[in-house]
Every structure is written in structure tokens, then in C-alpha cells.
């Protein structure tokens, strides 16, 4: 199917849903009781998504927010309340029926919020060619839309173009744990169901990095469906368009606290827990973004961390046998790759089979935000216990 054919198929499907009220593809996390206090039911009943990017603690007062694939406007209206009357929200969509509904209800939402006029504007356009000026957006949100775009890398480049230096995105989407085969890719119905266009996590994040984004990390995830052994996940990601970094007068040093024993960042620099090393301004800027901040100490002189230091962070595996239960760990950033204290190497977006002992480690508070977990076992697993090696390597 051609790119134009895919876009038309998706647009037609969502236009029909706007008329019929058909429940579309994805799980949601909306608090409809809260949203109903200012958003009309006609909008709420035809709102589709796989997360709540506008409802997270991500939208700031006075910002300019762009919603890619605004639909009937639910996330735009949620953002309109959060940015306040001094902020602005732009929603783009390719489906006329959805745009008509969103535009009709914008003044109603403004009145319900007590605004003199609406701070939301809806524009017709494609995600691959956004009708938005360069460097004009503080925050991009999108909810289960980019997986519907045939050329996702072009979407990511457009996102980078319209964001201001220092801007960021928070998007929810459907991804897969392995490549989607051709018989699903060319299934027109499953394009509307957010399946056929899903990318693997590593390809999705890789496209973002190619566009120039850094600090890409998971905000939340939830398993969604398993089809023919392929796991589809709902994931919310945040990343940054960093401004140009100025070199400080003096040198800077960073020391990784953990929980990883070793890590390589998105710029290719490697770190070992507790060992200080010099960094340039660009790397220091990257490590200053929220997903990295709590994992590092930044100083003007080298700081060595010993394991007895309360700032040292390590989760050691239990020294006992373990079981294989079909569990797989998907590392979701912000590093390019990391290693734990049992010598497992996790590359971002690549599933790694893990035993029960490692699963327990990754479910701790220190590790959990960086991983999505899936289980590929199709039935009860009755494996025997396996002893770990004397050197500490697991299984």
C-alpha cells in the first residue's frame, strides 16, 4: 500500500468513527469525570489514545503547545487548561470531520474555563509536513498518532524543526517488541487499529535520535495486545531539543551514582559507577536533563564515590538459584546501553530474556522507570532452578 493510500485509509477510518462513535484502537488513561467539567461529551466520546500526554506533569503555564493528530481536540483542550489564558495550543489533524468538531467546541471549552477567548487553534495538516513555523513550540504532545504515519522519521524531523531550542516532547504511542511482518503491515484494518504501523522500540527511538533529540526516556508504559506472538505496548516517551551549549570557564566532572554499574550515554561517552570523569559542555547539558539528573553528581573537581557513601546506588542480585519464566526486559533509556551488577548488558529498545532473580532487581524503584517488561511464555512454565556461576554472572 502506498503512503498516500495509508494516509487516506486512516483518515477515512477516523472520519467514520467520528460519525458512528466506533471505539477505536487503543487503551486510554483519561480521567473523564474531571475532563467532563469543561470538555463537552461530543468530544469525549470520540477521543482515542494510548496515554495521556497532556494530563501528565509536563505542560507549563504560558507555554505554546503543539498536538500532533489532535482529532476532536481532547488533548488540546486538556493542555489549554494547563497552559492557562496566557498560553497557546495548536492542534493539527488531517481529517476534516474531526477538525470541524474540534473547532466548533473550542469556544465552549474557553467559556467553561473562564477565558475571554479560546487559546486553541486547529489547523489542517499532515504530521510529515506540519503547518507550523520553525522554532516556535515549547512542547509537543501526541497521543497514539505517529504509529499511523507512513514516514515516521519525517515526522520526527518535523518535530525537531518546530521545537524551540530547549523544547521537548511528551508523546504516547504504540510500539512493538519485534518487527511487524508484512502481512500485518499491509492489513488496512490494522492500520486504523494502531498495529500495522508500529515500530520496534529501538527503531522508534533511533528515528528520534537521528532527528536530533536527546534525553529520550520512558515516562510510563503498559502492555496492550499480543498478536501472533508480537507484543504491542503503549509507551509514553519524553525527549529534548537541546540548545547550543557554551563551554564553562573551568572544567566539569561527573560521577555516576548508579543503579547501573556501567552506562553509555546518547553521545557515546561511557561511565562507571563511582568513577569521576571530565565532560564537555554539551555532555554536561545532556546530563542536566531530568532523566539523567538524579543518576549523576556534577562538580568542578573530581568526586570519587565509595560503596559506603549514601549517594552510591546499587541493587545487588540475590545469591541463590533462579528460574526462567519467559520474562524479557526492554531497556527504554535515557542511556544508549547499560550494565547491571550481574553483568547483563541492556541495549535500548532490544528485548533481553531475564531470569526471576534479575526480574526482581529490575522491579526495584531504582530500575523500574528505565524498563518495560513483557512475558513471552504462552502457558505455565515449569522449569527447574538454575545455579548462577561463581563469578556472579547470572544463569
- pLDDT tens string, the chain, 395 residues long: the values are 444 544 444 444 444 444 444 455 555 678 889 999 999 999 998 877 777 887 778 899 999 999 999 999 999 999 999 999 999 999 999 999 999 999 999 999 999 999 999 999 999 999 999 999 999 999 999 998 998 888 999 999 999 999 999 999 999 999 999 998 888 887 766 655 667 788 999 999 999 999 999 999 999 999 988 988 999 999 999 999 999 887 776 689 999 999 999 999 999 999 999 999 999 999 999 999 999 999 999 999 999 999 999 999 999 999 888 899 999 999 999 999 999 999 999 999 999 999 999 999 999 999 999 999 999 998 777 666 655 554 444 55
Residue 270: strand, helix, or coil = strand
d(CA 9, CA 5): 6
Q: State the pLDDT at residue 247.
A: 75
Closest C-alpha among 288, 213, 240 to residue 279 = 288
User: Which residue, chain included where needed, has cell 566532572?
Assistant: 253
**Nearest alpha carbon to residue 359 among 319, 392, 326:** 326
Residue 150 C-alpha cell reads as 507512513
Residues 6+ apart with CB under 8 A from 357: 317, 318, 320, 322, 342, 388, 394, 395
Q: Which three cell numbers stand for residue 42?
A: 461530543
Q: Is the dihedral of CA 284, 288, 294, 300 positive or negative?
A: positive
Pairing, β 345-347 against β 137-143:
unpaired
- What pLDDT is attached to residue 378? 85
Angle formed by the axes of helices 96-113 and 74-83, nearest 10°: 30
* 244-314, CATH topology level: Ribosomal Protein L9; domain 1 (3.40.5)
Residue 196 is predicted with a pLDDT of 73
Number of neighbouring beta carbons within 10 Å of residue 324: 16
pLDDT for position 292: 97
Read out DSSP for 287-356?
Answer: HTSHHHHTTEEEESS--PPPTTSTT----PPPSS-B---SEEEEE--SSSEEE-TT--EEETT--EE--H
State in words which class domain 3-240 has.
alpha beta
Which pLDDT does position 136 carry in this prediction?
98
Residue 53 to residue 62: CA distance in whole angstroms: 17
Q: What's the rounded Cα separation, in Å, for the pair 374 and 225?
A: 11
Amino acid at each position: 500500500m502506498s503512503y498516500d493510500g495509508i494516509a487516506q485509509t486512516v483518515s477515512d477510518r477516523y472520519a467514520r468513527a467520528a460519525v458512528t462513535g466506533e471505539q477505536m484502537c487503543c487503551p486510554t488513561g483519561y480521567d473523564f469525570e474531571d475532563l467532563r467539567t469543561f470538555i463537552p461529551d461530543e468530544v469525549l466520546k470520540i477521543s482515542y489514545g494510548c496515554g495521556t500526554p497532556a494530563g501528565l506533569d509536563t505542560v507549563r503555564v504560558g507555554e505554546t503547545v503543539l498536538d500532533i493528530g489532535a482529532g476532536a481536540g481532547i488533548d488540546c483542550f486538556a493542555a489549554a487548561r494547563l497552559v492557562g489564558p496566557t498560553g497557546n495550543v495548536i492542534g493539527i489533524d488531517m481529517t476534516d470531520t474531526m477538525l470541524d468538531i474540534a473547532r466548533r467546541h473550542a469556544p465552549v471549552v474557553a467559556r467553561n474555563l473562564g477565558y475571554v477567548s479560546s487559546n486553541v487553534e486547529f489547523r489542517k495538516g499532515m504530521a510529515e509536513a506540519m503547518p507550523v513555523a520553525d522554532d516556535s513550540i515549547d512542547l509537543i504532545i501526541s497521543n497514539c498518532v505517529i504509529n499511523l504515519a507512513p514516514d515516521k522519521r519525517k515526522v520526527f524531523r518535523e518535530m525537531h524543526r518546530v521545537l524551540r531550542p530547549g523544547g521537548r516532547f511528551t508523546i504516547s504511542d504504540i510500539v512493538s517488541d519485534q518487527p511487524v511482518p508484512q502481512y500485518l503491515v499491509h492489513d488496512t484494518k490494522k492500520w486504523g487499529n494502531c498495529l500495522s504501523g508500529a515500530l520496534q522500540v529501538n527503531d522508534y527511538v533511533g528515528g528520534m535520535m537521528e532527528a536530533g533529540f536527546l534525553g529520550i526516556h520512558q515516562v510510563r508504559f503498559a502492555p496492550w495486545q499480543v498478536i501472533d506472538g508480537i507484543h504491542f505496548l503503549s509507551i509514553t516517551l519524553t525527549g529534548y531539543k537541546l540548545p547550543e551549549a557554551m563551554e564553562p570557564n573551568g572544567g566539569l566532572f561527573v560521577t555516576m551514582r548508579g543503579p547501573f554499574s556501567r552506562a553509555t550515554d546518547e553521545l557515546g561517552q561511557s561511565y562507571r559507577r563511582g568513577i569521576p570523569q571530565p565532560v564537555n559542555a554539551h555532555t554536561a547539558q545532556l546530563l542536566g536533563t531530568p532523566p539523567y539528573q538524579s543518576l549523576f553528581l556534577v562538580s568542578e573537581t573530581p568526586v570519587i564515590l565509595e560503596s559506603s557513601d549514601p549517594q552510591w546506588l546499587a541493587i545487588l542480585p540475590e545469591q541463590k538459584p533462579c528460574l526462567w519464566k519467559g520474562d524479557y526486559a526492554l531497556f527504554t533509556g535515557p542511556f544508549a546501553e547499560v550494565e547491571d551488577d550481574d553483568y547483563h548488558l541492556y541495549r535500548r529498545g532490544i528485548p533481553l530474556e531475564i531470569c526471576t532473580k534479575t526480574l526482581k532487581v529490575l522491579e526495584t524503584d531504582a530500575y523500574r522507570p528505565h524498563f518495560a517488561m513483557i512475558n513471552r511464555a504462552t502457558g505455565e512454565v515449569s522449569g527447574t532452578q538454575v545455579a548462577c556461576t561463581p563469578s556472579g554472572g547470572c544463569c
